[in-house]
């Protein structure tokens, strides 16, 4: 798996250097000395290559002249993730049938920035953490735990048995996320833009949440909507701690 760009590679060097196998830097790049110094601390080789080589390695994507070969993303077993989320009061994000890697990467980035979130993905009909996802996540992959499960509904029921209250996102006919008082620990189910949350999962949701729109025919991209939901959840959680 390849990691593209200055910030993702620098963040990986800082937080998870053992996962890096090799770093490629375009000849003459201003960050060469810095990357070599940091990589040397962990015995990571840095290869200086011409622009044409960087383009080939990066499949003509904008690599900013830097890319790294890294280990595949380390998913966490769900039972372990649930145990950690329970102990540390993390909010679980259950992503139901989100197939767009851009959306997954965006949600990972928002969740990691706000903190205290973990993500659960189904093994079928879902995006996985790929190079494209890492590119959008821009280093957030180092700061958020992700599990994959064969049955998302069973995972949600397991969270409920562990004491989690389950909310689900809807476009209409839901409670205003800005006004509802959320109990914790919390799990949030986010459905796909095309189909929303599947009926088999929706019947196990304790409350439906929505973001009010000022224009009836407009709607948010699922990653943008998820960022707002995560922000409101974080705000309420922080307020609960202070109270």
pTM: 0.93
pLDDT tens digits, one per residue of 121-180: 999 999 999 999 999 999 999 999 999 999 999 999 999 999 999 999 998 889 999 999
Contacts of 189 (CB under 8 A, 6+ apart): 94, 96, 156, 166, 167, 168, 169, 197, 201, 202, 205
80 CB neighbour count, 10 Å cutoff:
11
Torsion angle in degrees (nearest 10) through CA of 106, 118, 69, 67 = 30
**What CATH number belongs to 78-242?**
3.40.1280.10
- Give residue-wise pLDDT tens across range 3-12: 999 899 999 9
CATH number of 2-70: 3.90.1170.10, 1.20.1740.10, 3.30.1330.30, 1.25.40.10?
A: 3.30.1330.30
Rounded-to-integer distance, Cα 235 and Cα 212, Å = 18
pLDDT given at position 220: 86
pLDDT of residue 217: 63
User: Confidence band (pLDDT; 50, 70, 90) for 242?
Assistant: low
pLDDT over 80 (residue 189): yes
> Residue 241's pLDDT is what?
66
Residue written as token pair 């019947």: 203
pLDDT tens track for 1-56: 999 998 999 999 999 999 999 999 999 999 999 999 999 999 999 999 999 999 99
pLDDT at 239: 76
Whether the CA torsion 4, 8, 11, 16 is positive or negative: it is: negative
Report pLDDT for 219: 75
Comparing 195 with 112, the larger pLDDT belongs to: 112
- The token pair at 42 is 């962990």
Helices (H), the chain: 6-15, 32-40, 51-57, 78-88, 101-114, 131-137, 152-161, 199-202, 222-242
Please tell me the predicted confidence (pLDDT) of residue 243: 56
Q: What is the pLDDT of residue 48?
A: 96
- Confidence band of 184 (pLDDT split at 50, 70, 90): very high
**Residue ranges per structural domain of the chain:** 2-70, 78-242
């Amino acid at each position: 798996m390849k990691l593209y760009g200055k910030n993702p590679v620098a963040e990986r060097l800082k937080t998870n250097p053992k996962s890096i196998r090799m770093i490629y830097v375009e000849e003459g790049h201003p960050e060469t000395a810095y990357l070599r110094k940091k990589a040397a601390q962990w015995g990571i080789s840095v290869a200086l290559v011409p622009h044409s080589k960087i383009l080939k390695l990066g499949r003509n994507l904008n690599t900013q002249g830097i890319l790294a070969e890294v280990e595949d993303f380390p998913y966490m077993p769900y039972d372990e993730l649930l145990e950690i989320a329970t102990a540390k009061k993390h909010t679980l994000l259950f992503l139901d049938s989100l197939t767009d890697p851009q959306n997954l990467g965006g949600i990972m980035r928002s969740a990691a920035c706000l903190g205290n979130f973990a993500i659960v993905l189904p093994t079928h009909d879902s995006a996985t953490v790929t190079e494209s996802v890492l590119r959008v996540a821009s280093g957030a992959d180092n700061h958020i735990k992700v599990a994959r499960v064969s049955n998302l509904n069973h995972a949600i029921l397991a969270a409920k048995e562990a004491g989690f209250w389950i909310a689900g996102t809807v476009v209409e006919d839901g409670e205003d996320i800005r006004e509802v008082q959320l109990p914790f620990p919390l799990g949030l189910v986010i459905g796909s833009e095309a189909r929303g949350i599947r009926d088999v999962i929706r019947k196990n949701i304790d409350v439906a949440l929505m973001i009010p729109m000022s224009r009836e025919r407009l709607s948010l991209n699922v990653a943008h909507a998820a960022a707002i939901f995560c922000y409101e959840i974080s705000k309420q959680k922080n307020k609960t701690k202070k109270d």
